[in-house]
Amino acid sequence: MRTLEKILINKKKDCKSIWFMRQAGRYLPEFRKIRSKNKDFIKLCLNSKLASRITLQPIKRYDLDSAIIFSDILMVPYALGQKVQFTKNYGPRLSNFNPEIFFNSNKKIFKKTLHPIYKAIKETRNKLDHKKSLISFVGAPWTLLVYMMGFKKKKNRIDFRQIKNNKIILEKLIEYICEHIENQFRAGSNVVQIFDSWAGLLPKNQLLDFCYKPNQKIVNFCKKKRIPVICFPKGIGRNYSEFNKIVKPNGISLDYEVEPLWAKKNLKNVVLQGGMHPKFLLKTDDVIQKEAKKYLDIFRDVPYIFNLGHGLVPETDPNNLEKLIKFVRNYK
């Protein structure tokens, strides 16, 4: 059994597992070279050969025990009929949500649209050392809804009464997210991470309906299919405890605002992952190592996967990442 699965399934305390969110991508010069020639991000994600090559770039550079497929959480709404465009210094822009197109989607077309991703996973798994895990990922229903409905640009004016009348959208998203997970797993991925990147926008009284329950349904699906699953409900603070008790994932990824001592005390029967702020990698070696040691010291006697509290930022020096990985590998 590979290291990452060993920790997630058996909750091994003595295994060292290291991977990083967004490790395949924008901070690497070899990625930037490919990206400069491929301006359309969605087309790049659907280019099986290039997506596989990008996925493997950090594995060739670093002593990591897991690769994460180069893709995007917005591939699901894209396959459900919404146009997705990435604009520099702004991020993703989605076309207006069209209920008729969305509800007339079917799994055959969905699978065909995303087939290049599954092909990239298959190619990557064939090229990847059998001892290394291949991680696939999805966006959680609420986070996808934020993008699909344009809530991000008006995040302080979310009308939950309107959303409640459209909970059928959430249910359909859950169905297709599970379909995407299973297709990725069948193609060769070994672990899935669910990104609820905008969970922090939800007020406490809406977390159950829009964060906990949707994530729980997907986690239950993964457990039924025996797919190890990590959840990342970013920005919900101490509600991480309630999330963990209700959703019960194999692993839970800590964002950088979660106090590690609090997490160790309050998050039980789950593998902890990450926590360190990505911006520490922009600082000096001493500062980077001091911060990494804080997490390693606190979590040394519980099942823990070393990662960050969010994805690597574009300004990250690849050499700093290499030194951090060596520090973690040599930690005793």
Tens of pLDDT along 204-263? 999 999 999 999 999 999 999 999 999 999 999 999 999 999 999 999 999 999 999 999
Distance CA 280, CA 312 (A): 10
For 43, residues 6+ apart whose C-beta sits below 8 A from its C-beta are: none
Q: What is the pLDDT of residue 298?
A: 97
Q: How far is residue 7's CA from residue 230's CA, in Å, rounded to a whole number? A: 11
257 SS3 class: coil
Per-residue model confidence (pLDDT) at position 88: 75
Conformation bin of residue 128: beta by default, left when phi > 0, alpha when psi is -120 to 50: beta
What pLDDT sits at residue 276? 98
Q: Cα dist. 12→55, 95, 229 in Å? A: 26, 45, 16
At residue 309, the pLDDT reads 98
Q: Which H helix or E strand runs over 312?
A: none
Given this model, what pLDDT does residue 22 score? 97
Residue 1 pLDDT = 86
pLDDT at 197: 96
In this prediction, residue 6 carries a pLDDT of 93
**What average pLDDT is seen over the chain?**
94
Q: Are 211 and 176 in contact (CB under 8 A)?
A: no
Domains and CATH numbers, the chain: 3-330 (3.20.20.210)
Q: Is the pLDDT of residue 156 over 60?
A: no
Give the number of other Cβ atoms within 10 Å of residue 13's Cβ: 13
Confidence of residue 264 (pLDDT cuts 50, 70, 90): very high
Task: Quote the CA–CA distance of 272 and 303 in Å, as a whole number.
Answer: 6
- Name which residue leads in pLDDT, 88 or 128: 128
Higher pLDDT, 164 or 47: 47
- Kindly indicate the confidence band of residue 84, based on its pLDDT and cuts at 50, 70 and 90: very high
Which secondary-structure segment (H or E) carries 250?
Answer: none
pLDDT (0 to 100) of residue 163:
63
In tens, the pLDDT along 176-195 reads: 999 999 999 999 999 999 99
| pLDDT at residue 150 in the model | 85
pLDDT at 161: 62
Does the pLDDT at position 164 exceed 70? no
d(CA 73, CA 196) in angstroms, rounded, equals 10
Which residue do the tokens 């920005």 mark?
235
pLDDT at 167: 82
**CA distances (Å), 234 to each of 138, 166, 237, 262, 314, in order?**
14, 24, 8, 16, 20
At 203-218, the pLDDT tens digits run: 999 999 999 999 999 9
CB atoms within 10 A of CB 242: 17
Assess whether pLDDT exceeds 80 at residue 265.
yes
Q: Phi, psi (5° rounding) for residue 267?
A: -105, 100
Token digits of residue 318: 């690849």
Is residue 230 within 8 A of residue 8, CB to CB? The reply is yes
How far is residue 75's CA from residue 73's CA, in Å, rounded to a whole number?
Answer: 5
- Residue 72 phi, psi (nearest 5): -155, 150
- Rounded to an integer, what distance in angstroms lies between the CA atom of residue 3 and that of residue 12? 9
Whole-number Cα distances in Å, 97 to 17, 61, 148, 150, 186: 40, 41, 6, 9, 30
